[in-house]
């Protein structure tokens, strides 16, 4: 019988504690990223949205994610996953409040587009976990990080409608959305206080320069643009 390479209950071990802190941060980003979908019936009724407007919101939710992951990757190289994950949780927590307080489709759309940034959280944790686990364990650790983190979308679907209903009235969805933002803000502080970029004695590698992919010809430029457009098209189908 195959066994785990490490004990997930050994919280005194720094790498295990870091793994749990990382996957829960990723879990929260997915709760935020998909906090609108299970509440869409409430949102639609409250703001009298059309079918096209609902579809637009669903598309805008992923439109920023591809370029955001590239930008976040550059920031990780420069500042490290601890600071970047904390910043992402703070920014997206505040954006949840903006979404929850929207009074028109235009405000909803702008907040939802900006919240696509939270989809870049996956990249941060992958780098953090790879710094803490040796090569023989990193695949398993990243699988746990990704699997438990992705469950955030299902958790949002299972809990947010009940929270909205508990608050009742036309503004129940606002309270449910804002609650996810509050959770992100609180956890940002927990994450920053308890996570380090690397184990003690290790040095976090920062490249001398960080930037986008190098483009040396016009052909490379058009290929790079096409690659990002294609990635965005596929993300909107999921």
- Map out the domains of the chain as residue ranges: 14-198
- Residue 40 corresponds to which tokens in the numbers above? 């869409």
Model pLDDT for residues 160-190, shown as the tens digit of each residue: 999 999 988 889 999 999 999 999 999 999 9
d(CA 25, CA 187): 8
Q: Which CATH class is domain 14-198?
A: mainly alpha
d(CA 238, CA 230): 13
* Strand intervals (E) in 31-174: none
d(CA 183, CA 63): 24
For residue 169, the model assigns a pLDDT of 80
Query: Looking at the whole model, is its pTM more than 0.75?
Result: yes
Under-70 pLDDT residues of the chain: 1-6, 207-238
Contact between 147 and 24 under an 8 Å Cβ cutoff? The reply is no
For residue 205, the model assigns a pLDDT of 73
Contact between 47 and 105 under an 8 Å Cβ cutoff? The reply is yes
For residue 201, the model assigns a pLDDT of 77
- Residue 205 corresponds to which tokens in the numbers above? 């590698």
Determine if residue 168 is left, alpha or beta; phi over 0 gives left, psi from -120 to 50 gives alpha, anything else beta.
left
For residue 10, the model assigns a pLDDT of 74
Q: How far is CA 227 from CA 27, 128, 220, in A?
A: 28, 27, 10
For residue 218, the model assigns a pLDDT of 60
């Amino acid at each position: 019988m195959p066994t785990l390479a490490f004990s997930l209950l050994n919280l005194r071990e720094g790498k295990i504690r870091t793994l749990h802190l990382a996957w829960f941060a990723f879990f929260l980003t997915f709760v935020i990223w998909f906090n609108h979908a299970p509440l869409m019936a409430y949102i639609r009724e409250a703001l009298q949205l059309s079918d096209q407007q609902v579809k637009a919101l669903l598309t805008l939710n992923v439109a920023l994610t591809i370029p955001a992951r590239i930008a976040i990757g550059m920031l990780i190289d420069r500042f490290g996953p601890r600071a970047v994950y904390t910043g992402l949780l703070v920014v997206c927590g505040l954006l949840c409040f903006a979404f929850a307080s929207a009074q028109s489709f235009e405000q909803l759309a702008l907040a939802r587009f900006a919240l696509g940034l939270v989809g870049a959280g996956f990249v941060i944790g992958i780098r953090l976990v790879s710094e803490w686990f040796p090569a023989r364990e990193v695949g398993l650790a990243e699988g746990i990080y990704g699997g438990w983190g992705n469950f955030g979308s299902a958790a949002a679907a299972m809990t947010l409608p009940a929270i909205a209903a508990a608050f009742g009235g036309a503004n129940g969805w606002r309270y449910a959305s804002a609650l996810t933002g509050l959770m992100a803000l609180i956890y940002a502080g927990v994450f920053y206080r308890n996570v380090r970029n690397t184990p003690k004695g290790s040095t976090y590698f920062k490249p001398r320069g960080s930037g986008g992919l190098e483009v040396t010809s016009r052909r490379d430029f058009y290929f790079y643009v096409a690659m990002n457009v294609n990635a965005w098209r596929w993300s909107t189908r999921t």
